[in-house]
Structure 1
């Protein structure tokens, strides 16, 4: 029995609610209460449940002061119920609303007593140190769920979401293998994936009636620890994790009035769209026979299509259809591992305007497609720009290229950067915005 294997390694069966109290720091004011005033930027776990006699399911915001009540009265009694280790803004667990990852959860199917023993032996053996040791192990029927609880919740900013997804994929490949599972097909799941609720009902015909959970490690994990189990190129640099703004919306309104008016009141986009040519060009890059999309990078090629679609101001539906049209080509790269609409659905989680500034070098790394930069043919920048402006005036004598709505002022650029990087330095602002040091200093405190 799987539970016997867990207990042989010191695992203790515990109340599922205690796990959630640990993950979401219930009682510490980490997540929002039901009627707590807004402005503190707190978020909440989101559960989803559905009963067999219902036509549709229900999303439930797990408020701190209602958590236990909702859990005991609604979630554990539902025929189907899922939740993950992430907090969200709003009422649904969509990627664009994700706030913090409190626990990273893995699913391994086809687990036997022997394979689970193999996993624990390699995880507990400090000399071997082959698998990261989870904090909790849940038995959900024919498989296990491994819970890794972070000592400090990880903020889910756009670039970091993508890094963590690749990070989790790599860890899944590490932990799900012929020694730990009799199921040869590894199922890699994104960070937004929900799991059957602890203590809730299992699938029909499963060995267990309800999901059981065992604590095997009381020490929370961090990114540095998990980095030990992935290739160097996949590691996440903790020093570069984005720092959150501690300003409330009212404080931001007072400190950055122009940003508040444009972004909050008027709902203006914080970026310019470009011609559709970029988007169409990327589709052609994917389909190139040489140096185009390759197996192992198909998902990230579609993810980049979504990002370029955002840059060009295209709708999510249009991008989705173009991605679906690419499925036959992508399947041809490895017919034994088909690329599906579910993969496209996952990539579309990146349909968020904040991905508009996703770095070019990261796109190259993830897609394995080299993107040529514009060249100046050996000319100095000033000369090159002067020639470019001259050509521009010939092609557009009436100055049609000018943004009629006006470009953002340098003051706005500095203010926006400071809002996004509250602990940032002037030199970093210079590098990121391309503004001169004099300009940054001028508008730094204004």
Structure 2
């Protein structure tokens, strides 16, 4: 049994997305190893609360937690996504120095998240076998999906961030050191491999997962068609496509069928006002239920009572996709390096990235096919269930971690990543 030091910027047992991934990956590592988990101080109350609420978990005896942050007066400037990522970079650097001075002496070290391929980890300075990842890649939002909808300011902000990323990819010596010092790099998709120009010592494995939910009993959905979309209301998530694709589908239904159909959007964010405006323009505001925020247990009830999941996001991952598939929900998404690589390759619900209005039309057509074709809906539900069972349960991540840790610690032996 090895002692693994895991650093994770975001860890919270009660949240979703990055926080949920951080916590669940730590739990999976605990099954086979002693874990020293290091995260930010703001995550301490939730972690301690969860451990107290679950004394039955015998693995917690092998968990030691440390919390590191800059003083509050030193991070008042950390506002907005760009400044937050700059703080994340500096947090990684100062954390490694802090850990070097603490001399915890693990067998290997693992920088777990923030799922991006342009800010390096500095854990290699600890002189231990070093695992980096999951490392993800977010492409810039295609121009046709951002400029006409969200305006020049949002477009320029997105392109400025892309320029900054390129500076790190091609000019940051610490990023070069990180990828060359890492014994194993866990990549979320091929795009990360290509952007980092990796040749060896990497594995491609999704970061997102969700355990199968059996405790939520859905209502009788025989006479309803409930479409669900969950996420932060920002341009990256493509909720404008969700609304317009739904509107084209809904407005072309016979009046008797419209009563069976609904769309629920669960999430909050700066694009909320614009999305409400789009819903009004498309004359479907009264049919769409906007929910600002819900606890995770309430979100699970939404999944349980949905017919399908609509998620035309431009991101490089998407925690909500395996969550939806854990409830057997078919997923309509763009055919990209993010959600498009999470759904079953044989699914017929992938939407080609095209010009804006052809994409809206394609989404509406996918909804029509599922609404009018019950065998197709049943087939896609089965595909989602099988895909989740094969690839998106947390124990699959645990087996991958065990293999990666063994390889990193015994790199010069006959151990293989394959």
TM-score, length of structure 1 as denominator length: 0.24
Q: Going by fraction, where is helix more abundant, 1 or 2?
A: 2
TM-score, length of structure 2 as denominator length: 0.25
Question: Which structure is larger by alpha-carbon Rg, 1 or 2?
Answer: 1
More relative contact order, 1 or 2 (CA 8 Å, 6+ apart): 2
